[in-house]
């Protein structure tokens, strides 16, 4: 009897392990199939708290236009300006509200390995599909330290590594990524070091999403990338959907000036400004971000008038005055 009971327990354990492994593989496939993911903006109320009502409207607009996934609390979502409580609250809210319709990738990376592990554990406990992990920034570490940092966060679950040398000051080299790709939880890379780098990874079977909107068309249609993790899709999700799906150089050329405007100052300052001007969010900035100047605000009005009102997220378009914006700490 004891032997039979032990055998039954082993069968149940094997089945559970098989189910977990199969579920993980299906989740990884689902994430890799997402060619357009939006680094979603976090809106605020005038008191400075996260505006969940506006957030939900922004996400619904993404779903309406065919976006397949969200990066929650990334750079665009200003996770670095949040405490962990509101950071993880927004990941949990996104999972509970939209997890059945979108891939939810929580940015739980940090320049502090202990904090990255803590945030990532909670993010997976709240049901996020994957973690976005940036390399430790400012207090840069050695190659050995990078390997150990990423191996530890990779052990926790499906992960996209984010390489953005312009913000971290440290370019993750292919040798490192190729070694980390041996880990079963590495989904791929959000890469800002150019299309040649992405083509190199894709040739080796490492999934790669462009982190540069202005390069994503070439990356997708000329270099074989999986797609883009986009800032611009916050504003024009339908047009970004077309850009990724269609080999249409004319559309790419039309969108380039708009993309250039969104990044003419460090992002997301310009995005926050234009979403305020379209009425998509309340005109509240969490410092140190602030609106672009009046001349730039006039420029975006002129740029958007080249498109149809239904192409952009929001209910209108207003040239706002400086005093209409609210800056809070």
List the catalytic residues.
Answer: 162, 190
Q: 307: part of which helix (H) or strand (E)?
A: none
**Residues 102, 59 contacting (CB under 8 angstroms):** yes
**Residues 56, 97 contacting (CB under 8 angstroms):** yes
CA distances (Å), 285 to each of 41, 292, 321, in order?
12, 11, 14
- Length of the chain measured in residues: 329
Cβ-Cβ contacts under 8 Å for 44 (sequence gap 6 or more): 50, 51, 281, 282, 284, 285, 286, 328
Task: Pull the structure tokens for residue 139.
Answer: 């207090």
Cβ-Cβ contacts under 8 Å for 293 (sequence gap 6 or more): none
Q: Helix crossing, 84-98 with 52-64: angle to 10°?
A: 40
Tell the residue number behind the tokens 């990724």, with chain if given.
244
Task: Give the residues across from 69 on adjacent strands.
Answer: 37, 103
Q: How many CA atoms lie within 13 A of 315 on its CB side?
A: 6
**Residues 254, 83 contacting (CB under 8 angstroms):** no
DSSP-based three-state secondary structure for 124: helix
**Residues 196, 222 contacting (CB under 8 angstroms):** no
End-to-end CA distance of the chain: 67
Cβ-Cβ contacts under 8 Å for 115 (sequence gap 6 or more): 84
């Amino acid at each position: 009897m004891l032997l039979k009971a032990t055998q039954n327990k082993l069968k149940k354990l094997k089945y559970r392990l098989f189910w977990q492994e199969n579920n993980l593989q299906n989740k990884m496939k689902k994430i890799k199939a997402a060619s357009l993911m939006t680094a979603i903006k976090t809106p605020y109320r005038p008191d400075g708290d996260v505006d969940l009502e506006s957030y939900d409207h922004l996400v619904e607009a993404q779903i309406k236009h065919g976006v397949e996934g969200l990066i929650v609390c990334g750079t665009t979502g200003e996770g670095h300006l949040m405490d962990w409580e509101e950071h993880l609250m927004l990941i949990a809210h996104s999972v509970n509200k939209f997890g059945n319709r979108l891939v939810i990738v929580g940015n739980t990376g940090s320049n502090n390995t202990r904090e990255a592990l803590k945030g990532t554990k909670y993010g997976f406990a709240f049901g996020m599909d994957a973690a976005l992990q940036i390399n430790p920034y400012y207090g840069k570490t050695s190659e050995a330290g990078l390997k150990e940092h990423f191996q530890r966060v990779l052990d926790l679950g499906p992960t996209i590594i984010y390489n953005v040398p312009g913000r971290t000051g440290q370019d993750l080299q292919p040798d490192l990524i190729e070694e980390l790709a041996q880990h079963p939880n590495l989904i791929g890379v959000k890469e800002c070091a150019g299309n040649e780098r992405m083509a190199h990874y894709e040739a080796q079977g490492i999934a790669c999403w462009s982190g540069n909107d202005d390069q994503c068309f070439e990356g997708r249609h000329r270099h074989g990338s999986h797609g883009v993790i986009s800032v611009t899709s916050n504003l024009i999700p339908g047009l970004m959907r077309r850009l990724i799906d269609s080999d249409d150089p004319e559309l790419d050329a039309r969108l380039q000036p708009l993309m250039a405007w969104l990044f003419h100052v460090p992002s997301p300052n310009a995005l926050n400004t234009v979403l305020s001007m379209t009425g998509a969010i309340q005109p509240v900035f969490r410092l140190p971000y602030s609106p672009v100047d009046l001349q730039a605000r006039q420029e975006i009005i002129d740029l958007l008038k080249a498109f149809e009102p239904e192409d952009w997220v929001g209910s209108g378009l207003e040239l706002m005055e400086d005093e209409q914006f609210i800056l809070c700490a």
